[in-house]
A and B are shown apart, each in its own frame.
Chain A
Amino acid sequence: QQQVKQSPQSLIVQKGGISIINCAYENTAFDYFPWYQQFPGKGPALLIAIRPDVSEKKEGRFTISFNKSAKQFSLHIMDSQPGDSATYFCAASKDEGNKLVFGAGTILRVKS
Chain B
Amino acid sequence: GQQVMQIPQYQHVQEGEDFTTYCNSSTTLSNIQWYKQRPGGHPVFLIQLVKSGEVKKQKRLTFQFGEAKKNSSLHITATQTTDVGTYFCAGNNAGNMLTFGGGTRLMVKP
A and B associate in one complex: no
On B, residues with C-beta under 8 Å from A are none
On A, residues with C-beta under 8 Å from B are none
